[in-house]
Amino acid sequence: QKEVEQDPGPLSVPEGAIVSLNCTYSNSAFQYFMWYRQYSRKGPELLMYTYSSGNKEDGRFTAQVDKSSKYISLFIRDSQPSDSATYLCAMKNQGGKLIFGQGTELSVKP
Amino acid sequence: NAGVTQTPKFQVLKTGQSMTLQCAQDMNHNSMYWYRQDPGMGLRLIYYSASEGTTDKGEVPNGYNVSRLNKREFSLRLESAAPSQTSVYFCASSEVKSDKLFFGSGTQLSVL
């Protein structure tokens, strides 16, 4: 079993939809949670960073962490075609190395 | 503002050939990393260098060697390429003990 599981998709939504991307994990020691966005033929870029449970909002993006369920989510409101990319979750424990999910491919149709 | 620069962008090798992937960063970061990305596997760490003069194995180091040439440059060498090394390779850098990685655009490598 992988430490971090992420549905690879692809996920296709109409412009303006609310998108929910999710990851589950098995290591209860993970404390730091990140979402990276990767456009086609580009390297990933950090989108959101959270520590501990709860929500963090940045514009149209909200990152949510539920440590009791070992589950993290990224919500995108009012999705735009420019949001079309692969979204990778990543997490680590104190002093550990980043573990990435497989990535979810998202397509937002005009 | 180049960030992290990788060369080459594409490469085709025959089994048994060797090659070196080059990476350079201009952000004065101490830490540098090499990842490979395969379908269904996500990003996996091959090697990393926490600071100039040090290198350590990651999750999948077999078949690879690295050199931290100076603070800016971190190269990845395949001594005898195998088809299982067909992948997209990413170099990244970060401040010491930072989780914010800055990635290059990748090298798409095919080993026939």
> At B34, is the secondary structure helix, strand, or coil?
strand
Q: Which amino acid is at A33?
A: F
Q: How confident is the model at residue B98 (pLDDT cuts 50, 70, 90)?
A: confident
CB A81 within 8 A of CB A15: yes
Q: How many angstroms separate the CA atoms of A9 and A22, rounded?
A: 11
Q: Which residues in chain A have Cβ-Cβ distances shorter than 8 Å to B44?
A: 100
Q: Over the stretch B45-88, which tens digit does the pLDDT of each residue have?
A: 999 999 988 999 999 999 999 999 899 999 999 999 999 999 99
- pLDDT tens digit string along A14-56? 999 999 999 999 999 999 999 999 999 999 999 999 987 888 9
Question: In chain B, which residues touch A (CB < 8 A)?
Answer: 4, 40-45, 48, 58-59, 90, 92, 99-106
Which of B41, B25, B46 shows the shortest CA–CA distance to B102? B25
Rounded Cα distance, A64 and A40, in Å:
25
- Per-position b or e across B90-103, b if 16+ CB within 10 A of its CB: bbbbbeeeebebbb
Distances (CA, A) of A39 to B14, B31, B48, B87: 29, 24, 24, 17
The torsion angles phi and psi of B103, rounded to 5 degrees, stand at -100, 150
**Residue A78 reports pLDDT greater than 90:** yes
Q: How many CB pairs below 8 A link A and B? A: 46
- Kindly report the nearest CA distance between residue A103 and chain B, in angstroms: 6
Give dist(CA A36, CA A46) in Å, integer.
4
Helix and strand counts by DSSP (H, E) for chain B = 0, 11
Taking only residues 58 to 87 of chain A, the set having a beta carbon closer than 8 angstroms to any beta carbon of chain B reads none
> Is the pLDDT confidence value at B20 over 80?
yes
- d(C-alpha A33, C-alpha A43), whole Å: 19
Residue A49: burial class (beta carbons within 10 Å; 0-12, 13-18, 19+): middle
Q: What is the identity of the amino acid at B44?
A: R
Within an 8 Å CB–CB cutoff, is residue A31 touching chain B?
no
Between B4, B42, B58, which is nearest A101 by CB? B42
